[in-house]
């Protein structure tokens, strides 16, 4: 392996490394500062204005529970995000590998029909988690 190819691979890892560092830093902050205690973080603006949960409500509590090993509680705070974590992990790993090889990100999961379906699932989750019969989906 030449020095130039090592340099190209190293540059390919800059963006994934920055994303990983940002996510790790955010997870560390949420792990240390409990979002279940009032006054540590601002309230969700959508919840504060409308009184309804958004698709992201419960995300910080999910991260806090996961960083403390409480998987059941993490699922209860935001089931949709919890179920998407393996998909996001796969996409991150694939992106990292492709970046190091100097290849663009292509995946069946990134096609428009999948993206539109994902948006549809998020919208349905958003509405259903606010209905009286679906209190299990509320954070």
pLDDT tens-digit map of 42-100: 888 999 999 999 999 999 999 999 999 999 999 999 999 999 999 999 989 988 998 88
Furthest CA-CA distance within the chain: 62
In this predicted structure, the answer to whether residue 2 has a pLDDT above a threshold of 60 is: no
In this prediction the pTM is 0.82
Sign of CA dihedral 42, 45, 47, 48: positive
Domain range enclosing 123: 3-137
Q: How many domains does the chain have?
A: 1
What pLDDT is recorded for position 7?
A: 57
What pLDDT is recorded for position 3?
A: 53
What is the spatial distance between Cα 55 and Cα 19, in angstroms, rounded to a whole number?
22
Is the distance from CB of 12 to CB of 102 less than 8 angstroms?
yes
What is the spatial distance between Cα 23 and Cα 30, in angstroms, rounded to a whole number?
11
- Tokens describing residue 31: 């792990």
């Amino acid at each position: 392996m030449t020095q130039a190819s090592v340099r190209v691979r190293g540059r390919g890892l800059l963006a994934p490394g920055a994303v990983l560092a940002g996510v790790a830093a955010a997870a560390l902050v949420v792990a240390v500062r409990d979002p279940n205690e009032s006054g540590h973080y601002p309230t969700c603006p959508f919840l504060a204005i409308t009184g309804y949960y958004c698709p992201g409500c419960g995300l910080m509590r999910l991260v806090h529970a996961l960083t403390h090993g409480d998987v059941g509680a993490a699922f209860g705070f935001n089931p949709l995000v919890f179920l998407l974590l393996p998909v996001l992990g796969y996409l991150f790993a694939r992106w990292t590998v492709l970046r190091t090889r100097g290849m663009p990100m292509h995946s069946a999961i990134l096609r428009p029909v999948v993206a539109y379906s994902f948006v549809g699932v998020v919208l349905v989750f958003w509405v259903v988690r606010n209905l009286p019969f679906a209190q299990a989906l509320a954070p």
